[in-house]
Amino acid sequence: MSTPGSSTSPGDSAVTPASTPPVRPTVPGANLSALRDHNAAAVLTLVRVAGEGGISRVELARQSGLTAQAISKIVQRLVEDGLLAETGRGASTGGKPRTLLTLVPEARWAVGAQLGRDALTVLRADLTGRVVADRRVPIDLAGWGPARVLDLLAEEVGRLLADVPRERVLGVGVASPGPLDQLAGVLHQVTGAPSWDGLPLRDEVAGRLGLPALIEKDSTAGVLSGLGSPNRAFVHLDRGLGAGLVLGGAVQRGARTNAGEFGHQTLDPNGPRCRCGNTGCVEALWAAAPTPQAAAAVLGEAVANLVRLLDLDEVVLGGREVLAAPDVYPAEILRVLAARLPDPAWQPVTVSLAPSGPNAVALGAAGLVLSRLFG
């Protein structure tokens, strides 16, 4: 089992494109324009994965399965759009050296926002998922209600984009506490914030900003904030507790896009009353714990259940409560895992803090927007 703070993530702030592998042109008779867009997205993804070293057209053709002619046309269009640049020459196995292509990070921007219960975080990320600007301001999600909070969101995003041409902004991803319907873009009964029930958050944000918008549950956004194991959870402990899940390399949202409501599992039916109305929920036991260590141990028990249920090998921790006690949570959770897993030596699980820290959830929301470009 690894030590706290270790991580298998290869990148600090890279937003995961891995759940959407390149699309190969294997569907006969598919709509040509759609096919072309899929293929362009696949090419962009391959160039992004290649990183600063770049990739040649020949290699793009080999990896994508597209013809050299198709690659040539797609690359030409992406260069004309400013998304790709020819940046150097690579070694050749014979004949002339190959021109290498790289992504132009600042060609487009994605905005990510996190609606927290008492803070609003907004950030701007480039095409590589690097955060170039961020802002965090206090709010009272339940007390202020939607109009005041969303007006402030629009104002803060406006500041982030003050010197950016709007046509270079891909859109805004907004992460919020759940439950919510990610596909419809509508919030449901957000615990403790009744004035937000039924709010069409996606359309409200898009209308205020004049930009495409997407919404996501905060914990699910968090799991998209960095690269990592194909079987991992992002455990988000703020004023509520949720888990974002990637299994088999794909993000899991469940039947109503509401998977990961982790905080209201019953750990002790005779336990303290929870604000959700049930008794002995993880959140209630966590809140009733007398010390930070005891609170972390409660979370550890819940994480151990999650790891055993889903056979995870990586748990990333985020949220204000965890970040406020970084020396306590990973160590305590690892201790409980070591006690609960039947064969810890055979079932190693890394437990680490999210590399992007307080920006993790908003960065994942920006990643949602980027994933639309990368296919």
Q: Among 1-9, 57-65, 251-259, 279-287, which window interacts with Zn ion (CB under 5 A)?
A: 279-287
Q: Among 42-50, 175-183, 211-219, 260-268, which window interacts with Zn ion (CB under 5 A)?
A: 260-268
Token pair listed for 335: 């201790």
CB of 180 to Zn ion, least distance (A): 17
Q: Which of 66, 160, 274, 351 binds Zn ion (CB under 5 A)?
A: 274
Q: Among 22-30, 267-275, 285-293, 329-337, which window interacts with Zn ion (CB under 5 A)?
A: 267-275
Q: Does 241 bind Zn ion (CB under 5 A)?
A: no
For 165, other C-beta atoms within 10 Å of its C-beta total 8
* Alpha-carbon distances, residue 8 vs 229, 247, 332, 353 (angstroms): 7, 16, 19, 12
Q: Among 210-218, 280-288, 338-346, 364-372, which window interacts with Zn ion (CB under 5 A)?
A: 280-288
Residue of 305, 302, 304, 297 whose CA lies nearest to 325:
297
Alpha helices in the chain (DSSP H): 32-50, 57-64, 68-80, 141-144, 146-160, 201-209, 218-223, 282-288, 292-310, 320-324, 329-340, 360-374
Q: Which of 264, 328, 353, 365 binds Zn ion (CB under 5 A)?
A: 264
Q: Does 281 bind Zn ion (CB under 5 A)?
A: yes
What SS3 state is found at 27?
coil
CB of 240 to Zn ion, least distance (A): 9
Beta bridge partners of 250: 247
For 11, other C-beta atoms within 10 Å of its C-beta total 15
Binders of Zn ion among 34-93, rule CB under 5 A?
none
CB of 263 to Zn ion, least distance (A): 6
Backbone angles phi, psi at 163, to 5 degrees: -110, 25
CB of 239 to Zn ion, least distance (A): 13
Q: Give 166 or 273: the residue with its C-beta nearer to Zn ion.
A: 273
Q: Give 8 or 278: the residue with its C-beta nearer to Zn ion.
A: 278
Q: Among 140-148, 180-188, 196-204, 256-264, which window interacts with Zn ion (CB under 5 A)?
A: 256-264
Q: Among 45-53, 195-203, 271-279, 354-362, which window interacts with Zn ion (CB under 5 A)?
A: 271-279
CB distance 362 to 230 below 8 Å = no
Q: Among 40-48, 164-172, 208-216, 272-280, which window interacts with Zn ion (CB under 5 A)?
A: 272-280
CB of 267 to Zn ion, least distance (A): 10
Q: Does 236 bind Zn ion (CB under 5 A)?
A: no
Binding mask 130-169 for Zn ion (x = CB under 5 A): ----------------------------------------
Q: Does 276 bind Zn ion (CB under 5 A)?
A: yes
Cα-based angle 198, 188, 171 (whole degrees, multiple of 5): 80
End-to-end CA gap in the chain: 35
Backbone angles phi, psi at 268, to 5 degrees: -150, 105
Q: Does 288 bind Zn ion (CB under 5 A)?
A: no
Residue 38 DSSP one-character state: H
Q: Give 115 or 284: the residue with its C-beta nearer to Zn ion.
A: 284
**Complete edge-to-edge strand list for the sheet that includes strand 241-247:** 250-252, 241-247, 232-237, 314-318, 350-353
Sign of CA dihedral 79, 84, 86, 92: negative
CB of 269 to Zn ion, least distance (A): 12
Q: How far apart are alpha carbons 364 and 216 in whole angstroms?
A: 9
Q: Give 251 or 274: the residue with its C-beta nearer to Zn ion.
A: 274
CB of 319 to Zn ion, least distance (A): 17
- What are the DSSP E strand ranges found in 333-372? 350-353
Token pair listed for 330: 């990973």
Token pair listed for 277: 């109305």
- Interface residues with Zn ion (CB under 5 A)? 264, 274, 276, 278, 281
